Structure 1
Amino acid sequence: MFQRIIPLLLGLSFAGMVQADTLKLRDDAPARYVVKRGDTLWAISGRYLSSPWRWPQLWQMNRSEIRDPHWIYPGDVLVLDRATGKLHLEKGQRVVKLSPQIRVEDSDAIRSIPAARIAALLKRPLVVEQAEFTAAPRIIAGADDRVVLAQGNTAYSQPLDSAGVWQAFRAGKELKDPDSKESLGFEVIYGGDLAVTDLGTTVSTLQVKSSVEEIAIGDRLIKYQTVPVLNYVPHEAPAAMGGKVVSIYGGVADAAQYSSVVINRGARDGAELGYVFGVYKKPRSVKVDGKEVTLPAPEISQLFVYRVFDKVSYGLLLDTTQAVNVGDTLGQPE
């Protein structure tokens, strides 16, 4: 899924650093860095820039001109020439086994952001409009009188319109805009995957293939949709977009680094994959000598948008310095 990784051209350049006020090399940037398994482009760029989300500028990305991209892999070496302000890539040795019937995939290439943190959340609807959810077919019975189904169990549902894999969900909490109070949809709770064994005409038959939560009679079924391969290129969200954190995935009160959060900006607002926001503490006031004084609202994290719905988006928190909470605001990243 994460195999189209951001390309890195040989002879990567800091030519864009003429804009020194927007792209500044760290004083402690390493002269040489050996890429390691588990690195991300965000983390590697953080060794060279105070604002790692600016890596497209750091590496002078111009995807329209890339015809034969070179990927960055464990063992490759980044070499910084401070005299010229250029960063070069020395390719390490990489052994790949080939066969006539197998196409080599870039499974070892370095990811843009931690893939494991969001992989599961790319396979599920997560947010569904109420009307769409209530119209989805229901599980109506199991093979016996049990109300909770486990892996291997048979399930019966209202008629389905296609074979294949369906996912079981139950209703979660409603998401509301903290300012307008508009309903932004319902977070749905994923139960597991079921495969159709008989479509039928009035009742469909399925078998539970996997479960991460209880799958119960009455749960709704949504057809599994394969997620296209995405190339997450970070770019700054418009200054005027703003927004707020409306929910923390998993139901925890405090979100830490690599947590997923929901924001009240979606496709209808112009949100895009790869947008980077600064996350700022919700403004807080205290009384001093009988007067209200508003405390500074520092940037406490940066949010990387990786999934966009109509009214909301999901983002991964990166470089977090303190807990992020519902109501914290979004602005330009520093």
Structure 2
Amino acid sequence: MKYPLLAALLAFSVTLPVVADVLKIKKDAPKQYVVEKGDTLWDISGIYLDNPWRWPELWQINSHIADPHLIYPGDAISLSYDQNGQPRLVINKRYKKLSPTGRITPKGTQAVPTLPLELLRPYLTYEQAVNADDIASMPYVLGANVNTKMNTLGHVLYIKGDLNLHEAYGVYRQGKAYVDPNTNDVLANKAELVAIVRTFRAGDVKKGVPASVKIENVKQEIKPNDFLMPAMAGQTLPAYFTMKRPETPVSGTIIAAISELREFSTMEIVVLNLGSSQHIKAGHVLDVERQSPDVFDGSNGPRYKEDSNRLEKLVSATNELLGIEADKNSMLWHMPTEKVGELMVFKVYENVSYALIVKNQHPIRVGDNAVIH
């Protein structure tokens, strides 16, 4: 549960609407917890709640902790209940004074963040989702000052494009396409960072003069046609996330997993076929649902569709295509979808977005639905 804090962590602030139902506290939740270095508000809330993203309801319904972001390592937090039976977290007076300026217990100097951002950092730094049309218009690598496949620190690259003098750029390689499973449209392309370079000659495309850059950091072999973007493009998160459900129904699909594993779970990064075009925003929390398998109920009894024989499959497919009512003794049953987890969107492009799996009852898979009904 522990995650080391990075020096560059951003402070997250989360606001959620107050709900009328009483928060359910885990049966094994401790009555008291002492904050440790590396804890996040998400971690602490996960000790008490099955849905950690509802943590503001646990912290904000009392006046004893005016600002949860001022909770520090060394603080002792106790679980109590108000007159309405609502759970709340309070500072234990036996350990320290309530005022953040009057702390008497040695503790860390950095307030704990909401989420473990170091899990997200690699996907902010090393990967982008870029449209192929945009890639075609970007500056790209022509060659180098040495005829070698392994360009390294200090080598000079020549770029087709007009670059800003002394500016840092990321060199990216176009990767696999993110394809919508419903339309087969290419939504964006994966773009991996291969190097960081800095311009020392601006170049002039109209005059046939390439820009010149020096390699400052290299992750892998740089190749002709690798393209350049400003180093900070797509690297920043908003200072504040509002973690909430979308206000209107949403229906999308998990189309890729960064780990490229067949199944994955909490704190894994996935790609959705949802973006700003579908009014998706960073901080949106969506349910993950999976279609239950169809069952063919025939003369041999109920069997999953894939276990049915060819004739049964042909009959059921033909009846379904022609709209013919199935024989009550031979029928294909379409089962409902079931919730298997939750995810939070943290980075949004026009047609795709990156999301963090925050909860799962079963392993999550590519092809599972990301929805709000």
Can you list the C-alpha shifts for 1:267-304, whole angstroms capped at 9, x where unaligned?
Answer: 12111111111212244223343533345643332211
Aligned length: 312
Correspondence 1:186 to 2:189: yes
**Stretch deviating more after TM superposition (23-32 or 212-221):** 23-32
Given the superposition, is the C-alpha separation of residues 49 and 95 from structure 1 closer, same or farther in structure 2, using an over 3 Å criterion? closer
Please tell me whether the aligned partners of residues 69 and 111 of structure 2 are also in contact (alpha carbons under 8 angstroms): no
Structure 1 segment 52-91 matched on structure 2, within 5 A? 52-60=52-60, 70-82=69-81, 84=83, 85-90=87-92
In structure 2, C-alpha distance between the alignment counterparts of 1:297 and 1:162, rounded to whole Å: 52
Please tell me whether the aligned partners of residues 124 and 224 of structure 1 are also in contact (alpha carbons under 8 angstroms): no
Please tell me whether the aligned partners of residues 122 and 227 of structure 1 are also in contact (alpha carbons under 8 angstroms): yes
Given the superposition, is the C-alpha separation of residues 115 and 69 from structure 1 closer, same or farther in structure 2, using an over 3 Å criterion? closer
In structure 2, C-alpha distance between the alignment counterparts of 1:68 and 1:296, rounded to whole Å: 43
Counterpart for residue 156 of structure 2 = 154
Counterpart for residue 221 of structure 2 = 214
Counterpart for residue 257 of structure 2 = 248
Counterpart for residue 103 of structure 1 = none
Larger radius of gyration: 2
Counterpart for residue 11 of structure 1 = none
**Pairwise CA distance, 1:314:** 0.4
**Pairwise CA distance, 1:59:** 2.0
Q: Which of residues 333, 336, 341 is equivalent to 1:293? A: 333
Correspondence 1:168 to 2:171: yes
Q: Give the aligned residue type for 2:370.
A: L
Given the superposition, is the C-alpha separation of residues 228 and 179 from structure 1 closer, same or farther in structure 2, using an over 3 Å criterion? closer
**Pairwise CA distance, 1:29:** 2.9
Q: Give the aligned residue type for 2:173.
A: R
Please tell me whether the aligned partners of residues 291 and 335 of structure 2 are also in contact (alpha carbons under 8 angstroms): no
Please tell me whether the aligned partners of residues 32 and 77 of structure 1 are also in contact (alpha carbons under 8 angstroms): yes
**Stretch deviating more after TM superposition (69-78 or 49-58):** 69-78
Correspondence 1:26 to 2:26: yes
Q: Give the aligned residue type for 1:127.
A: A
Counterpart for residue 131 of structure 1 = 133
**Stretch deviating more after TM superposition (149-158 or 305-314):** 149-158
Can you list the C-alpha shifts for 1:73-111, whole angstroms capped at 9, x where unaligned?
Answer: 221121122364432135663568xxxxxxxxx7x3322
**Pairwise CA distance, 1:135:** 1.0
Please tell me whether the aligned partners of residues 250 and 372 of structure 2 are also in contact (alpha carbons under 8 angstroms): no
In structure 1, C-alpha distance between the alignment counterparts of 2:362 and 2:151, rounded to whole Å: 40
**Pairwise CA distance, 1:331:** 2.7
In structure 2, C-alpha distance between the alignment counterparts of 1:44 and 1:70, rounded to whole Å: 12
Superposition TM-score, scaled by structure 1 size: 0.82
Structure 1 segment 261-300 matched on structure 2, within 5 A? 261-288=270-297, 289=301, 290-295=330-335, 297-300=337-340
Please tell me whether the aligned partners of residues 73 and 110 of structure 1 are also in contact (alpha carbons under 8 angstroms): yes
**Stretch deviating more after TM superposition (311-320 or 323-332):** 323-332
Can you list the C-alpha shifts for 1:97-145, whole angstroms capped at 9, x where unaligned?
Answer: xxxxxxxxx7x33222221111122235611111110111111111211
Given the superposition, is the C-alpha separation of residues 41 and 233 from structure 1 closer, same or farther in structure 2, using an over 3 Å criterion? farther
Please tell me whether the aligned partners of residues 35 and 76 of structure 2 are also in contact (alpha carbons under 8 angstroms): yes
What SS does the corresponding residue of 1:119 show, helix, strand or coil? Answer: helix
Counterpart for residue 99 of structure 1 = none
**Pairwise CA distance, 1:72:** 1.9
Counterpart for residue 268 of structure 2 = 259
In structure 2, C-alpha distance between the alignment counterparts of 1:178 and 1:300, rounded to whole Å: 20
Given the superposition, is the C-alpha separation of residues 87 and 250 from structure 1 closer, same or farther in structure 2, using an over 3 Å criterion? closer
**Pairwise CA distance, 1:17:** 6.8
What SS does the corresponding residue of 1:56 show, helix, strand or coil? Answer: helix
In structure 2, C-alpha distance between the alignment counterparts of 1:2 and 1:61, rounded to whole Å: 26
Given the superposition, is the C-alpha separation of residues 67 and 152 from structure 1 closer, same or farther in structure 2, using an over 3 Å criterion? farther
In structure 1, C-alpha distance between the alignment counterparts of 2:41 and 2:249, rounded to whole Å: 27
Correspondence 1:305 to 2:308: no
In structure 2, C-alpha distance between the alignment counterparts of 1:119 and 1:310, rounded to whole Å: 21
Please tell me whether the aligned partners of residues 56 and 234 of structure 1 are also in contact (alpha carbons under 8 angstroms): no
**Pairwise CA distance, 1:324:** 1.9
In structure 2, C-alpha distance between the alignment counterparts of 1:326 and 1:95, rounded to whole Å: 42
In structure 2, C-alpha distance between the alignment counterparts of 1:61 and 1:215, rounded to whole Å: 54
**Stretch deviating more after TM superposition (227-236 or 297-306):** 227-236
Superposition TM-score, scaled by structure 2 size: 0.74
**Pairwise CA distance, 1:332:** 4.3
Please tell me whether the aligned partners of residues 243 and 331 of structure 1 are also in contact (alpha carbons under 8 angstroms): yes
Q: Give the aligned residue type for 1:143.
A: N
Which sections of structure 2, spanning at least 5 residues, go unmatched? Answer: 1-7, 97-102, 302-329
Counterpart for residue 119 of structure 1 = 121
Given the superposition, is the C-alpha separation of residues 142 and 58 from structure 1 closer, same or farther in structure 2, using an over 3 Å criterion? same
Given the superposition, is the C-alpha separation of residues 17 and 175 from structure 1 closer, same or farther in structure 2, using an over 3 Å criterion? closer
**Stretch deviating more after TM superposition (69-78 or 163-172):** 69-78
Q: Give the aligned residue type for 2:366.
A: V
Please tell me whether the aligned partners of residues 281 and 328 of structure 1 are also in contact (alpha carbons under 8 angstroms): yes
Which sections of structure 1, spanning at least 5 residues, go unmatched? Answer: 9-15, 97-105
